[in-house]
Amino acid sequence: MKLIPMTLLLAMIPFASPAQDMPEHAHSGHMAQPAISIAAPREGGQSAFAAIQEIVAILMADPTTDWSIVDIAALRQHLVDMDNVTLRAQVETQEIEGGARFVVTSDDPAVMTSVRTMVPAHVTTMNGVNDWAMQAEETEGGAVLTVTGPDAARIRGLGFIGLMTVGMHHQTHHLALASGENPHEK
């Protein structure tokens, strides 16, 4: 049996015209007929592509954009690193007093490089937020993230990837990268 994509199925569903649902006397023009509007697609089709598309639109709308330093390739690489760390790295969690220690590794050299890029960068950005003390160190196969704070259960509950997502800094971070800045340096 061949599967039909959901969007195709939805497109095949007949929609009633507004005129079909109106009483017979309404067709004479005495009653306004509501228009049916179908929303245009909004998603870029893939999350990294959509994130890049959003940043490009912002840069193109800004007349002060310095195109001589724009670096969309740097944003793309950052998104590759995010994908590698989120989906391909192995994480070993060790409970420590006041928090957790996360050993993040991979046998894949590309993923290992992503881990060694992302973990220290996150510590640079987030150390001290929520009263968390964060430390990063390079280790064989990747990096170690150590996080302690007043609510160890929360730190452990969030786990490595949850901690990596905390803070709405990612969007401005992506714009900074694409604009030729290096937000990983303080």
Residue closest to 92 by CA, chosen among 82, 106, 104, 100: 104
Q: CB under 8 Å to 3, separation ≥6 — which residues? A: none
Question: Domain boundaries in the chain?
Answer: 90-186
Containing 48, the helix (H) or strand (E) segment is helix 47-61
Q: CB under 8 Å to 55, separation ≥6 — which residues? A: 72, 75, 174, 175, 178
Q: What pLDDT, on the 0 to 100 scale, is given for residue 116?
A: 98
3-state secondary structure of 143: strand
Q: What pLDDT, on the 0 to 100 scale, is given for residue 31?
A: 55
Q: What pLDDT, on the 0 to 100 scale, is given for residue 12?
A: 37
Q: What is the rounded distance in angstroms from the CA atom of residue 45 to the CA atom of residue 29?
A: 42
Structure tokens at 105: 């590794």
Q: Which residues of the chain have pLDDT under 70?
A: 1-34, 168, 183-186
Q: What pLDDT, on the 0 to 100 scale, is given for residue 185?
A: 59
Q: What pLDDT, on the 0 to 100 scale, is given for residue 169?
A: 73
Question: For residue 180, is it left (φ>0), alpha (ψ between -120 and 50) or beta?
Answer: left
Measured at the alpha carbon of residue 186, what is the angle toward residues 86 and 91, in degrees to the nearest 5?
20
* Amino acid residing at 10: L
Q: What is the rounded distance in angstroms from the CA atom of residue 66 to the CA atom of residue 52?
A: 17
Q: What is the pLDDT of residues 110-135, one digit of tens each?
A: 999 999 999 999 999 899 999 999 99
Structure tokens at 89: 């790295």
DSSP annotation of 129: G
Q: What pLDDT, on the 0 to 100 scale, is given for residue 102?
A: 98
